[in-house]
Structure 1
Amino acid sequence: MMLSVGPLLPPIHGQSLAFTRFVDSIENEKKIVINTNFEDKTKQGKLIGTFKTILLIAFKATFLKYDVVYFTCSRSFLGSIKDILLINIAILRRVKIVNHLHGSDFYEFLHNSPKWYQKILFSSYNKVNTSIVLLESMKSQFKDFKNMKIIVIPNFYDKELDIKLVKKEKNRINLIYLSNIMSSKGIFELLDAFEELINTYDNIYLTIAGGYIADEFMTISEVKEKFTSKIKGNNLVRYVGKTFGEEKIKLLQRSDIFVLPTYYKSEAFPISILEAMATGNVIVTTNYKYLPDVIKEKNGVLVEPKSVESLSTGIKSVLKNVTKLREIQDYNIIESKRKYSFEKYLENLNKIVFK
């Protein structure tokens, strides 16, 4: 029996998608699931949600029967309280603990915490048997824990993306941005770069999909106001809002170049990039954190974060050679199937959690 603690869909982001797909693959009689996602994202809502989660963990981890704990670790003070509780109850129950990191900021969170809280975090995570990271270079996130086994399992794309529904258009180049509409994902740098590009190219179009999200740079209302103002009157830019399922697959399959100019603080290994590769897109993203470990020249182009000029130049380098663009598209389909299939992800994860 597995006690699993993490965020279920919705809302959708890389961590919630990965956690949901894994727990959904396990038979009901073999799992206990505690959902750490809650709808109210206000400060009060987060406090209430955290309190409810702590009560659930305290009860289920103490009184129910299970053989292994699988959880996705938090990198915030409130979120980490539940992780600490979970780890220490599991140790008292003498069960195996598997932690799965989906962000790039655990080490930063650990070392920026108050000294008294660092001691609690160090004491707790020293008891974790195994931690899973997405890339070899991400092992450094847990370099403080010498006795912890650290295993690399790359992210995945959903198998539905292998279904061929539509073909790419020959006489136009479609760019796509598929992520949350937030400042630190680089959406405004992309819009500024696109304004420059359409002065040179008359066959390029931009589709934007995603919901409005706040970050440390802008509130939701500020993001929405600025975004709406920038795309108003530009018939070469299409905003389709939040997109899921078959509609998302069609958008990706129609697109040629996937653009994610991110400098998001916890960016690690975005599933959206793998989805774009699997549907035959050239990837244009930033030389930021772990992204250079994922995207090489054979996959697309890396540009500098927060630089409209670098982003524009990077996209131009793809647009000026259509033959090379098609070669990269074909290569990305092959590589994604070989390295990032959902079946391979599940196989690897099951070996770690249940062996």
Structure 2
Amino acid sequence: MMFDALVDFLVANNFTVGVIDLTSEYTNIKIGKFSLIRTLEYLKIIIGSINKFIKYRGGLLYINTAQTKAGFLRDLFFVNLAWLFRYRILMQQFGSNFGNFYSELSPWFKYLVRTNFNKGHFIIVEGEFTKCQFSMLYNYQNKVVSVSNGLPERNLLITNKGKIYNPNHTFNLIYLSYMIESKGYWDVLKALNILVNTYNMNVHCVFAGSFKNSVDAVLHINELEAEEAFKLYILKNNLQNHVTYYAGLMGNAKAQAFLKANIFLLPTYFKFEGQPVSVLEAMAYGAVPVVTNYRMIPNMVTPEVGLFVDPRSPDQIAEKVLFLIKNPKTYATYSQASVDRFLEKYTLDSYSKNILNLIKMTLKEQNFE
């Protein structure tokens, strides 16, 4: 969504943009694990994209770089194709596991990574936490640039006002992300069970996201088993009237869910986590974030904006939700602070302008404008 929004912004600013679609036709690939099928698929995409590199030769390559071996090998081909056709190269690294990825490589593979990234004029990261992970590169202080994400929704149904909670109404929660174990959806579900069956709270939670299997999963061997266990837990604990699950929410349906939500929950410890865009969306709608103090999340969610919990801590999640339910005035303060921070720092327009400036700098410094 961020990429699509950026393309639209560049076209509106009179850039000619060619797009290479890296979307996989396979849905059962484990996130973060080497896949021969995916590698061969990348190779097919690369070969099919050569005509685009010829067509736009001498332009600029913008590429989202990977944090896995298969993804890096894909990037290696694209970057060297761009180098061959005299492109200027602008890289963007989403997520903040690059340091761990690099440290686990062999010396020879590390050399390949350094060489490849040194061909980029700028490398865009989401925050200072990730910037330091590129310290092995030449002149990284100037080469690596921090740009905060922006919310890529084009038609937000928001105002500059936060929410007010009426204690006579249902307190609504939302979890919106991939249903990945380390994203914390199980902790949210268990916290909901505590709120309903221990404290008899009038709460409802929307879970939105497709089930995905990740390399850091420990409870279930695949997404089908995980989804079955999720639904069985709901039945066993009589949570049917307190949970709504969507495999995905888009457009107006997602906007309506956020408008209704009092709290956004993402107690993540996901290996590849960076600066989740869903957190920004929650802040835009005044859905108070209850999140982990992990990776770059605390750069977005300050103590004035949301509440923090430890990973794998359903009891803490339930405690924070109870606190906000019982303190409506405090809840309203957090909600307004969330909206204010979003409008100040994380709009799509601000993000797109920052990327556009880096594109212009890349072209100008290389005498290629």
| TM-score between the two structures when normalised by the length of structure 1 | 0.89
Which structure 1 segments of 5+ residues have no match? 1-16
Which of the numbers 27, 36, 40 marks the counterpart of 2:22? 36
- For 1:232-247, what aligned pairs fall within 5 Å after superposition? 232=235, 233-234=238-239, 235-247=241-253
- Residues 207, 108 of structure 1: alpha-carbon distance in 2 compared, 3 angstrom cutoff: same
- Structure 2 CA distance for aligned equivalents of residues 91 and 323 of structure 1: 57
SS at match of 2:246: strand
Aligned partner of 1:30: which letter?
T
Residue in 1 that maps onto 2:334:
328
Q: CA deviation at 1:138?
A: 2.0
Q: Indicate the structure whose relative CO is greater, using CA pairs within 8 Å and at least 6 residues apart.
A: 2
Question: Deviation per CA, 1:192-216, whole angstroms, max 9, x where unpaired?
Answer: 1111122225322211111111113
- Structure 1 CA distance for aligned equivalents of residues 56 and 17 of structure 2: 11
Aligned partner of 1:194: which letter?
L
- Structure 1 CA distance for aligned equivalents of residues 136 and 50 of structure 2: 27
- Residues 156, 184 of structure 1: alpha-carbon distance in 2 compared, 3 angstrom cutoff: same
SS at match of 2:18: strand
Question: Deviation per CA, 1:67-116, whole angstroms, max 9, x where unpaired?
Answer: 21110001111111121122223334443211111111112112212222
SS at match of 2:307: strand
| TM-score between the two structures when normalised by the length of structure 2 | 0.85
- Structure 1 CA distance for aligned equivalents of residues 50 and 68 of structure 2: 19
Q: CA deviation at 1:57?
A: 4.4
Q: CA deviation at 1:237?
A: 1.6
Question: Deviation per CA, 1:201-233, whole angstroms, max 9, x where unpaired?
Answer: 532221111111111313111211111111223
- Residues 29, 127 of structure 1: alpha-carbon distance in 2 compared, 3 angstrom cutoff: closer
Question: Deviation per CA, 1:142-172, whole angstroms, max 9, x where unpaired?
Answer: 11113241212111112422446xx877322
Residue in 1 that maps onto 2:155:
160
Aligned partner of 1:48: which letter?
L
SS at match of 1:38: coil
Which of the numbers 216, 223, 235 marks the counterpart of 1:220? 223
Q: CA deviation at 1:59?
A: 4.5
Residue in 1 that maps onto 2:100:
108
Which structure 2 segments of 5+ residues have no match? 30-34, 362-369
- Structure 1 CA distance for aligned equivalents of residues 38 and 234 of structure 2: 33
Find out whether 1:96 has 2:88 as its counterpart: yes
- Structure 2 CA distance for aligned equivalents of residues 51 and 44 of structure 1: 11
- Structure 2 CA distance for aligned equivalents of residues 322 and 261 of structure 1: 22
- For 1:134-149, what aligned pairs fall within 5 Å after superposition? 134-148=126-140, 149=143
- For 1:131-210, what aligned pairs fall within 5 Å after superposition? 131-148=123-140, 149-157=143-151, 158-163=153-158, 170=166, 171-198=169-196, 199-210=198-209
Query: Quick one: percent identity of the two aligned structures?
Result: 28
- Residues 297, 29 of structure 1: alpha-carbon distance in 2 compared, 3 angstrom cutoff: closer
For the aligned residue pairs, the C-alpha RMSD in angstroms reads 2.1
Whether the aligned pair in 2 keeps the contact of 1:168 and 1:254 (CA below 8 Å) is no
- Residues 57, 124 of structure 1: alpha-carbon distance in 2 compared, 3 angstrom cutoff: farther
Residue in 1 that maps onto 2:32:
none
Find out whether 1:254 has 2:260 as its counterpart: yes
Residue in 2 that maps onto 1:284:
290
**Stretch moving more, 144-153 or 267-276:** 144-153
- Residues 268, 88 of structure 1: alpha-carbon distance in 2 compared, 3 angstrom cutoff: same
Question: Deviation per CA, 1:273-314, whole angstroms, max 9, x where unpaired?
Answer: 000000111100112222222211111111111122232223
SS at match of 2:10: coil
